[in-house]
Chain A
Amino acid sequence: MAVTAPVAPPPVPTAEPAAAAPTAAAQPAVRRWQVWAFVLPAILFQFFWGWYPMLVAIFLSLTNAPIRGQVTFVGFNNYARLLADPLVAMSFRVTFVYAGLGILLTFGIPILIAILLMEMPPRLIRVMMLLWFVPLSGIASTIFWQYMYNEQFGILQFIATEVLGLPPRAFLSNERWVIFWLIFPGILMFGPGLYYMTSLQSIPRSYFEAAEIEGASFWRKIWTISLPRMRPIISMSLIFAIIGSMQEFAFPDLMTRGGPNGASRTVVMYMFDILNDGRYGDATALSVMLFAVIMVLVLVYRRLVTDDPDA
């Protein structure tokens, strides 16, 4: 997993911290109450709608979490019921496959495209970026992909049968392939990652010039300069990708509703099914379970990977 490069970074004098230091003594005192006026609203919002609901979730998962009526404490009954439910196990399996395959197939693309895009002349980068970041809202793109995937008149079916001469296929109604087809738009619509581009710009040109004099090839430069330098941002993006893709909901829900036969029903989608049945305690317990699984994944990841580009 670790992308350690055996190349020693050229000595670059770090001038920034030294320049900022001398002002500290001369700095006028910051008035206390004014500082609190800046942060207090944010603290209140972050507490009441950020941390507080998270603690409450753990408490509610041990009760029947009713919308009306009496709150009763049920211990670990909710969890026991969920663990006995084969559909919970299935939804976790679907979620792991969806997240794992999704990250495997799509995570590297924006990194590579960002690296390649930065090779273009500035004027061209500008034009391409503007076109690339023309936004299509989530709902609109879901409607578009539903249309593309239609088995009778969708354009993908047209490409499969008329252009490639393959037999007609059941894209989203095939149990074995549905997850791949849900990920496929992410592969096809490739583009550069914004944060990767900013990070690439901070690499000194001299690194590449030095590597060139040493005779490093195209891929060699990517492997030993660009990627290690981008490592903190890649590492952070990967964590967010793990957290995000384990909670996949809107796109598969709108595309397949979890079908066929639950082959694309993720944990969050199943949580919603439970919620619609009025089993609020179970739904909360399931979300806490997913939370625990994701936190374990994140912690394991942080154990395995260090963020330091010079490591």
Chain B
Amino acid sequence: MLFPTVGRKQWQVRLGWYGVQVLLWTGVILHLIPFYLMLVTSIKPASEAMAMPPTLWPKEPTFVAWRLVWQISDVAQSVLSQPLYRYFLNSLIMTFGVIALSIPVTSLAAYASSKLIKGPLARPLFIFFIGTLMMPGIVTLIPSFLLTRNFPFPLPVAPTIPGTDIAFPTLRIWNTYWAVIIPAGFSAGNFLLFKGFFDSIPDSIINAARVDGGSEFNIFRRIVLPMSKPVYAVTIYFTFGGVWDSYLWPLVVIQDSAIAPLTVAIRRITDAFSYAGTTSPMTAMGAASALQPLIEQGLSWNGLMVLGLLQALPVFIFFIIAREYLMQGVRIQGLK
């Protein structure tokens, strides 16, 4: 529409059109380069992964890094106390836990806010739900951490019930999977996405169902839910990506390394690597560390790339499975 509909055949217009296309394809290709380079580096031998000039395709492709990464916990107990798959599992439990809790909680509230609550209460409730979006999340980090230890008191010790010596009962979710799952029970960002979608459903459909008789919940389940698959796909996808990638909060609330998520475990490995000196070849020889046996067998940046790819894989798979719904969910019309 920016390009004139009349006179498309003029050479200046054509040139501009192709220029735009070249620019866009450049962006697409740049976006795909990391995937290629990580994949290629992961099948290089250790020395070639740190060779200058870098090679575009390994001279001798090898899966040594893929094999060695799985052995990290056997060789270096001090770096990883559990086998790698355990951290994968931890991340999956947390991610699906958050999805199972927050998607129903958030979507039901968004539906009520969009279709059921009218009148003077609607606006304050809406602000209550999305107001936290406007505020920097970092400020709640320390209070939330304290809350996971003595819910609902942000104090080291629960106060005693007045007049007695008995402390108030508190809930302790710190250092369990729940510490990641429960605080994420409501998502203001997803609430906005859900509400935007439910707003676009005509009221008449819901009113018709009400006339036929049926509880509000049944109307939601039988009428609204089936037509809302795209928005659920988008929010579940965002939640999945967000929780799967979260690093800061799990680091703060989970102390036991056996239930730490993959992101924390990977950070521990990359740290061990940089102390061992493998990330710079100058000091690689002299460094003594827990990872030394693996490094001698040929683990270097190729191994870090394997870790990165493994970490990226679930989100990638989710994207492939749900891509059709995702495209609809963001309502890019006319693309069918």
Interface residues of A, Cβ cutoff 8 Å to B? 20, 23, 26-28, 30-31, 34-35, 37-39, 41-43, 45-46, 48-54, 56-57, 59-60, 65-69, 71, 113, 115-120, 122, 125-126, 128-141, 143-144, 146-147, 150-153, 155, 157-158, 162, 188-191, 194-195, 197-198, 201, 205, 208-209, 212, 218, 221-222, 226, 239-240, 243, 246-247, 249-250, 254, 268, 271, 275, 280, 283-284, 287-288, 290-291, 294-295, 298
Contact = CB atoms under 8 A, between A and B. Distances in A.
B307 A143 contact: yes
B210 interface: yes
A234 B52 CA distance: 43
A122 B335 contact: yes
Contact of A140 (B157, B204, B280, B312): B312
Contact of A150 (B1, B143, B247, B280): B280
A282 B24 CA distance: 47
A24 B151 CA distance: 44
A198 B327 CA distance: 11
Given A26-B207, A113-B24, A247-B137, A221 B1 contact: yes
Contacts of B247: 138-139, 250
B255 to A, nearest CB: 12
A49 B183 contact: yes
A288 B136 CA distance: 9
Given A42-B106, A45-B105, A130 B323 contact: yes
B136 A291 contact: yes
Contacts of A139: 245, 247, 263, 266-267, 308, 311-312
A68 B158 CA distance: 11
Most chain A beta-carbon neighbours within 10 Å: one of B1, B141, B188, B316: B1
A35 B263 contact: no
B28 A144 contact: no
Contacts, number: 308
Contacts of A134: 31-32, 35, 316, 319
Interface string B312-336: 1001100100010011001111110
Given A30-B216, A135-B316, 5 more contacts: A42-B106, A45-B185, A56-B147, A116-B24, A212-B4
Contacts of A119: 1-3, 17, 20
Given A132-B28, A133-B319, A152-B280, A143 B270 contact: yes
Contact of B37 (A43, A144, A212): A144
Contacts of A195: 330
A35 B335 CA distance: 37
Given A150-B279, A153-B51, A162-B53, A137 B134 contact: no
Contacts of B326: 133
A207 to B, nearest CB: 8
B109 A23 contact: no
A35 B118 CA distance: 11
Nearest to A47: B128
Nearest to B141: A287
Contact of B109 (A41, A118, A208): A41
Contacts of A201: 331-334
A153 to B, nearest CB: 5
A194 B155 CA distance: 42
Interface in B211-226: 211, 215-217, 220
Contacts of A129: 327, 332, 335
A31 B216 contact: yes
B139 A288 contact: yes
Interface in B7-64: 16-17, 20-21, 23-25, 27-28, 30-32, 34-35, 37-38, 41, 50-54
A38 B216 contact: yes
A284 B141 CA distance: 9
Contact of B117 (A39, A48, A53): A39
A190 B25 CA distance: 11
B21 to A, nearest CB: 7
Contacts of A65: 142, 146
Contacts of B327: 126, 129-130
Interface in B111-166: 111-113, 116-117, 125, 128-129, 131-144, 146-147, 149, 151-152, 154-157
Given A54-B135, A128-B24, A138-B245, A218 B31 contact: no
A46 B308 contact: no
Contacts of B301: 147
Contacts of B241: 135, 137
Contact of B105 (A41, A205, A250): A41
A147 B273 CA distance: 13
14 contacts: A38-B109, A42-B129, A46-B132, A48-B147, A57-B142, A120-B20, A125-B332, A134-B35, A140-B38, A143-B304, A143-B308, A151-B280, A158-B53, A222-B2
Nearest to A280: B142
A157 B54 CA distance: 10
A235 to B, nearest CB: 13
Nearest to A38: B112
B281 interface: yes
Given A60-B154, A67-B156, A129-B332, A28 B142 contact: no
B216 A136 contact: no
